[in-house]
Amino acid sequence: MTNHGTGDEPKLHGVVAEYTTPDGLLEACNKARAAGYRRMDAYTPYPIEEIADAIGFEKTRVPLLTLCGGILGGLSGYMLQYWVNVSAYPLNIGGRPLHSWPSFIIITFEMTILFAGITAVVGMLTLNGLPQPYHPIFNHPRFASASRDRFFLCIEAADVKFDVADTTRFLQATSAVDVAEVAD
**Contacts (CB under 8 A) with another protein, residues 119-158:** 120-121, 123-125, 127-128, 130-135, 137-138, 143-149
Cis peptide before 141 (omega within 30 of 0): no
- Provide the residue type at 178 as one letter: D
Query: Which element (helix H / strand E) includes 80?
Result: helix 62-82
Residues 165-184 that bind another protein (CB under 8 A): 175
- Identify the residue among 103, 166, 169, 172 touching another protein (CB under 8 A): 103
- Identify the residue among 1, 71, 79, 106 touching another protein (CB under 8 A): 106
What is the C-alpha separation between 64 and 67, in angstroms, rounded? 5
Establish if 81 lies at the interface with another protein (CB under 8 A): yes
- Name the minimum Å distance from CB 22 to another protein: 5
- Name the minimum Å distance from CB 8 to another protein: 25
Establish if 35 lies at the interface with another protein (CB under 8 A): no
Helices (H), 83-135: 101-127
Beta strands 151-156 and 178-183 are unpaired
